[in-house]
Amino acid sequence: MRRDEDETQSMALFDDKPSFLIAEDQIFTARALARFFRQYGETQIVETAERALEALEDEKAQFHGAIIDWRLGEDDGVEVIRKARLLRPKLPILLLTGHLDAGCVNQVHALRAEYACKPARAENLAAFAERAVSKRGIDPMTRAINEIARRHKLSTRERIVLALAVRGLSRLEMAERMGIKESTVKTLTRRMLAKTNMDRVRSVVHAVIGEAMANQTWDT
């Protein structure tokens, strides 16, 4: 199978591509979060509470989850969540905070949201993303990536490399997307291949596509 055929077949299995809203006024933090969540789907960054609520009011925007900072300039992230619940009662929401305050935690729980302390660990973000996506119905390709990552005990960053490889990104594009050096991508790729006992990235991609197609057949 040629590379263009691989990409066409793999992308066809990414149904209902997930989308995440990131409300963060620190641009470098926002970009880092966007790089992480792009392994699961599209991202939209907003820097103010007003823009976050405008995005949530847009009925055409089918967000799978929202990541909201505790402080958006002078605005309170908890209050943003309170208003967001009126617009999207069931939307998975993660509040990021640099201050662990009992009152804040209780309010977040009362609003049926989650919270994580900054700097948020990749494992915590991944757990939130996977819960958010699963609530809307996970697509066959993402399910296959998750299963292969679990089966072969891939690290979070190795799983990201696998997900981006399935989407057809080059090593340079992966480095730019993940915010790391190209040499680090090469190291992560080598570890992924060793754990999956395969000698080429394309072989792993084929394995993911095969598993996704099997899942899709089983589900129908």
Mean predicted lDDT score pLDDT of the chain: 83
pLDDT more than 90, % of the chain: 30
Mean pLDDT for the stretch of residues 179-199 = 93
Q: What is the pLDDT of residue 139?
A: 65
Digit-coded pLDDT (tens) for 124-163: 898 898 888 877 655 677 778 888 988 999 987 898 889 8
Over 50: is that where the pLDDT of 167 sits? yes
Q: Is the pTM of this model over 0.75?
A: no
CA atoms of 83 and 69, how far apart (whole Å): 14
Over 60: is that where the pLDDT of 217 sits? no
In the structure, what pLDDT confidence band is assigned to residue 10 with cuts at 50, 70 and 90?
very low
Most confident of 2-11, 22-31, 57-66, 154-163: 22-31
Task: Tell me which of 1.20.140.160, 1.10.730.10, 3.40.50.2300, 3.30.450.20 is the CATH number of domain 19-136.
Answer: 3.40.50.2300
Q: Whose CA is closest to 37, among 150, 162, 116, 129?
A: 129
Over 70: is that where the pLDDT of 4 sits? no
Q: What is the pLDDT of residue 6?
A: 41
Q: Is the dihedral of CA 86, 88, 90, 96 positive or negative?
A: negative
Say if residues 96 and 67 touch (Cβ distance below 8 Å): yes
43-47 long-range contacts (CB < 8 A, ≥24 apart) are 43/19, 44/19, 44/20, 46/21, 46/22, 47/23, 47/72, 47/73
Over 60: is that where the pLDDT of 14 sits? no
Digit-coded pLDDT (tens) for 72-101: 878 888 889 998 888 888 899 999 987 777
Mean pLDDT for the stretch of residues 52-73 = 88
Mean pLDDT for the stretch of residues 94-121 = 84
List the CATH code of the domain at 3-13+139-219: 1.10.10.10
Question: How many Cβ atoms are within 10 Å of 102's Cβ, its own excluded?
Answer: 7
For the chain, the domains span 3-13+139-219, 19-136
